[in-house]
Amino acid sequence: MKVSVIGATGYAGAELLRILYQHPQAEVVHVTSESHTGERISALYPHLRGLYDLELESMKDISRIGEDSDFVFIGLPHGHAMEVGKALEKFPVRIIDLGADYRFSNTAVYEEWYHVPHTHPEAERVYGLAELYREEIRRAKIIGNAGCFTTASILALAPLAKHRLIDMNTIIVDAKSGVSGAGRSPKQGNHFPELYDSFKAYNVAHHRHTPEIEQALEELSGETVVLNFTPHLVPMSRGILATCYGTLKQEITAEMVDAAFQKMYGNEYFIRLLGRNGYPATKDVRGSNFCDIAWHIDERTRRVIVLSAIDNLVKGAAGQAVQNFNIACGFEEKMGLDVVPMYP
């Protein structure tokens, strides 16, 4: 399959190129960047030297990219993928957007949280969280790749929601991310002296991944979901650990919780269940497309606490995009992704 990467110079774009290089059924034909047009991708990311020496193009000639490509991956900030999606409507090319523009079934929710108008509301799209929407992804023209915090959180809570084991109005998600999740552009808060040896929360009560988590859990449970999501920034380059809380319904036992996770994920290659009382760690999934999940039950408070760990740039971005690509193309789902996590 001939693939192109629009916005290849962000961390997710570079990670996507790293994964696609080892994919036996993908050939990268175009890479774009509006701020580095004419430069070689390997000059910006020396780890790609000798592997990718493609020249970065402008996406102004999007028709040529559409004609040359079977799939287009979009790694642009929110608000920009819709322009690409509309420009490629007349081409048979399929799209995976790593941003937020095509994640929401209700574009009014997108506009409320992202504060930009949705200019492509009629687009036929599906939510790109592979383990939950596999059948829809197979046929999709546009796939809205799930976000990083949302992937860790939704996968942690999905068995509880689907089997209606918890009161859906009691959910709290407390998640921590490495700084690569903030992107490559320098900011004061990501400056080494500001970040190192520190730990802080941000965007409390209004992080944009909140409605994305709620949307998926509502579809699974059939109930309205309003939850609290608090993200934190950790002084490490990559990784997410999500700690998710919910109050068990009165008749639910620990064994029923165990069975729900086994039933939903027992045959999922990329989800590794550590079982009840396990402790996932970001280091154990680094550089991989795995999501490690464990759960604890506090009988005193009747709460279940689910822990999940992912690499935010892989399962939370580029790896998930390739997993969706594999599903959509009919390839083996782990093609190009079957790698051992890096350790230490």
For 120-171, the pLDDT digits (tens) are 999 999 999 999 999 999 999 999 999 999 999 999 999 999 999 999 999 9
| Res 193: pLDDT | 92
Q: Is 244 a catalytic residue?
A: no
Residue 43 has pLDDT above 90, yes or no: yes
- CA pair distance 5, 256, nearest whole angstrom: 44
| Res 184: pLDDT | 87
Q: Residue 97 in contact with residue 74, Cβ under 8 Å?
A: yes
Residue 190 has pLDDT above 90, yes or no: no
Residue 77 has pLDDT above 90, yes or no: yes
Residue 53 has pLDDT above 90, yes or no: no
| Res 138: pLDDT | 98
Beta pairing, strands 240-247 & 172-178: antiparallel
Q: Which amino acid is at 155?
A: L
- CA pair distance 308, 144, nearest whole angstrom: 22
Residue 279 has pLDDT above 90, yes or no: yes
Average pLDDT over residues 1-13: 97
Q: How confident is the model at residue 185 (pLDDT cuts 50, 70, 90)?
A: confident
Q: Residue 72 in contact with residue 63, Cβ under 8 Å?
A: no
Average pLDDT over residues 303-316: 98
Q: Per residue in 54-70, is it b (16+ CB within 10 Å) or e — as a string?
A: bebbebeebeebbeebb
Tokens of 198: 């520190």
- CA pair distance 184, 47, nearest whole angstrom: 16
Q: Residue 276 in contact with residue 294, Cβ under 8 Å?
A: yes
Catalogue the E-assigned strands of the chain. Answer: 2-6, 27-31, 71-74, 94-97, 125-128, 142-145, 172-178, 200-201, 228-234, 240-247, 271-276, 291-298, 303-310
Q: Which of 148, 244, 291, 329 is catalytic?
A: 148
| Res 208: pLDDT | 96
Q: What are the chain's domains?
A: 2-123 (3.40.50.720), 149-312 (3.30.360.10)
Average pLDDT over residues 329-337: 98
Average pLDDT over residues 17-40: 97
Tokens of 322: 């390739």
Residue 186 has pLDDT above 90, yes or no: no
Find the range with the poorest average confidence among 120-129, 180-189, 209-218: 180-189
Average pLDDT over residues 199-203: 95
Q: Which amino acid is at 256?
A: M
Residue 187 has pLDDT above 90, yes or no: no
- CA pair distance 319, 316, nearest whole angstrom: 7
For 241-257, the pLDDT digits (tens) are 999 999 999 999 999 99
The string of DSSP letters for 155-211 reads: HHHHHHHHTT-B-TTS-EEEEEEEGGGG-SS--GGGSHHHHTT--EE-STTT-TTHH
- CA pair distance 299, 26, nearest whole angstrom: 50
Q: Residue 117 in contact with residue 111, Cβ under 8 Å?
A: yes
φ, ψ for residue 95 (rounded to 5)? -130, 140
Tokens of 219: 């579809």
- CA pair distance 93, 65, nearest whole angstrom: 9
| Res 212: pLDDT | 98
Residue 189 has pLDDT above 90, yes or no: no
Task: State the pTM of this model.
Answer: 0.97
Q: How confident is the model at residue 14 (pLDDT cuts 50, 70, 90)?
A: very high
| Res 289: pLDDT | 98
- CA pair distance 76, 88, nearest whole angstrom: 15
C-beta atoms surrounding 43 within 10 Å: 13
C-beta atoms surrounding 114 within 10 Å: 18
Burial of 182 (0-12, 13-18, 19+ CB in 10 A): middle
Give which of 289, 284, 288, 265 is closest to 275, Cα–Cα.
Answer: 265
C-beta atoms surrounding 250 within 10 Å: 7
For 79-116, the pLDDT digits (tens) are 999 999 999 999 999 999 999 999 999 999 999 999 99
Average pLDDT over residues 265-276: 98
